[in-house]
């Protein structure tokens, strides 16, 4: 029996392959998963496998309820339990991405939110991209990866909040992003890295830079929610 539909496996493979193309990670420092909620499972990149070598058959199916691998000989990404925490907390999401993209990691290592300094940021993120609190010694010693996911859920809030803020930084670690599909979660990672780089350069030029709240709200709402008018329906 093959766990995870061919369509889901294909979507997760393509999303993982997008990580090196977008320069979001060096070596194998990133992973994407996608979920089949009806089947109660998600599939995720195997640990340490190069993106160029990755195939649909390599992807690891994981039971959503237990975190147990359902099939195959490969171990899932070490971040699998973080992904599982998000899927359990936020029923509307369909994909999760974790990377170590340079500029987003810089904010995480500095223990700083990424501030809203322009409309590029506001188009996707409804406010500053938050950094979590640090994990306690106890949280690092036991269930580390699951607790990594939990501190993000703690920082973001409920499913509605996760829709408006599809990214967070784990203090001293790096970014996680999520979305309706595996590829959308990667796209949010691409946007996150771009706005992190813009923020660093903006603050270097003007440490007091800000963006008016009314402008932030206008840009977010024209792409999200019932009054959104950006883009066109798919053909």
In a domain? residue 28: yes
> How far is 154 from 64, CA to CA, in rounded Å?
19
Cα–Cα distance for residue pair 46/80, rounded to 1 Å:
9
Identify the CA nearest to 192 among candidates 119, 108, 124, 94: 124
Q: How far apart are CA 37 and CA 180, in angstroms?
A: 12
Domain membership flag for residue 182 = yes
178 in a structural domain: yes
pLDDT digits 0-9 by tens, 27-77: 999 999 999 999 999 999 999 999 999 999 999 999 999 999 999 999 999
Q: Which domain holds residue 25?
A: 6-223
- Number of compact structural domains in the chain: 1
Residues with catalytic function? 123, 230
DSSP 8-class letter at 170: E
**pLDDT tens column, 199-220:** 999 999 999 999 999 999 999 9
* Residue 192 forms part of a structural domain: yes
Give domain status of residue 232, yes or no.
no
CATH number where 204 lies: 3.40.225.10
pLDDT digits (tens, 9 = 90+) for 156-207: 999 999 999 999 999 999 999 999 999 999 999 999 999 999 999 999 999 9
> If pLDDT is split at 50, 70 and 90, which confidence band does 234 have?
confident
Q: What is the pTM of this model?
A: 0.95
Are 63 and 48 contacting, i.e. CB atoms less than 8 angstroms apart?
no
234 within domain boundaries: no
């Amino acid at each position: 029996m093959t766990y995870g539909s061919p369509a889901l496996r294909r979507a997760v493979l393509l999303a993982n392959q997008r990580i090196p193309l977008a320069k979001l990670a060096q070596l194998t420092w990133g992973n994407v998963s996608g979920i089949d909620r009806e089947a109660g499972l998600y599939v995720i990149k195997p640990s340490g496998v190069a993106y160029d070598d990755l195939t649909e058959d390599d992807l690891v199916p994981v039971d959503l309820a237990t975190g147990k691998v359902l099939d195959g000989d490969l171990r899932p990404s070490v971040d699998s339990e973080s992904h599982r925490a998000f899927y359990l907390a936020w029923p509307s999401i369909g994909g999760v991405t974790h990377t170590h993209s340079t500029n987003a990691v810089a904010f995480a290592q500095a223990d700083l939110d990424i501030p809203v300094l322009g409309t590029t940021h506001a188009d996707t993120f409804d406010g500053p991209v938050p950094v979590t609190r640090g994990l306690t010694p106890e949280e690092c010693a036991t269930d580390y990866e699951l607790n990594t996911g939990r501190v993000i859920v703690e920082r973001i809030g409920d499913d509605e909040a996760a829709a408006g803020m599809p990214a967070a930084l784990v203090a001293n670690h790096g970014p996680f992003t999520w979305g309706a599909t595996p590829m959308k979660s990667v796209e949010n990672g691409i946007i996150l890295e771009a706005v992190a780089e813009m923020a660093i350069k903006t603050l270097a030029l003007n440490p007091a830079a800000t963006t008016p709240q009314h402008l932030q709200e206008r840009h977010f709402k024209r792409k999200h929610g019932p009054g959104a008018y950006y883009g066109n329906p798919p053909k």
